[in-house]
Amino acid sequence: MNDSASPASRSSRGGRSDADQAAVLVVEDNVSNFHLVARMLEALGMHCEWKTSGYEVLEYAQALPRVDLILMDVRLPYESGFEAGEKLLKSERFRSVPIVAVSAVVNREEMEKARAAGFHGFLGKPLDPDRFPEQIRRVLAGEQVWELA
């Protein structure tokens, strides 16, 4: 399998689920939130990397061998998730990688700000452990997921 393939093209290759063994970069400054997301991703068979701020997230992501999805908290220290997301979206390597905004500010204005910034989805906090697996599968299948709750 070619790791540079887009999530949508990977989904058309044989019988494996897009979620199987996906590599996810979680950009989250709250340790408890990261541990919750990491446990949910690991239960789906995904590998998870963690960055605690938006500062130098592009450089960090470029050092990773594979990134299939980025979950980006938008309220981060030093550099916001919006600023970090903009840099990632301008990068040729990450242009086709879905970047989903994750925010505790759960309202239409925040979601529309993420949409205008070029994100591929929005998930409001707290994340719902019952819905999270399907939300992630949908994103990896190439669908944009915009959900406030």
Domain CATH for 73: 3.40.50.2300
Which residues are within 8 A (CB) of 76 and not within 5 positions of it... i.e. 6 or more apart?
A: 27, 29, 52, 53, 54, 84
What pLDDT digit, counting tens, does each position of 21-73 carry? 899 999 999 999 999 999 999 999 999 999 999 999 999 999 999 999 999 99
Average pLDDT over residues 91-117: 96
Q: What is the pLDDT of residue 10?
A: 35
Domain membership of residue 11 (yes or no) is: no
How many domains does the structure of the chain reveal? 1
Q: What is the DSSP string of the chain?
A: --TTS-HHHHHTSTT--TTTT-EEEEE-S-HHHHHHHHHHHHHTT-EEEEESSSTTHHHHHHHSS--SEEEEESS-SSS-HHHHHHHHHHSTTTTTS-EEEEES--SHHHHHHHHHTT-SEEEESSP-TTTHHHHHHHHHTT--EEE--
Domain membership of residue 134 (yes or no) is: yes
Q: What is the pLDDT of residue 149?
A: 79
Domain membership of residue 13 (yes or no) is: no
Domain membership of residue 128 (yes or no) is: yes
Range of the domain at 139: 18-147
Q: What is the pLDDT of residue 9?
A: 34
Average pLDDT over residues 97-114: 97
Q: Mean pLDDT score of the chain, rounded to an integer?
A: 88
Domain membership of residue 58 (yes or no) is: yes
Q: What is the pLDDT of residue 23?
A: 97
pTM of the model: 0.86
Average pLDDT over residues 70-91: 96
Confidence of residue 18 (pLDDT cuts 50, 70, 90): very low
Domain membership of residue 5 (yes or no) is: no
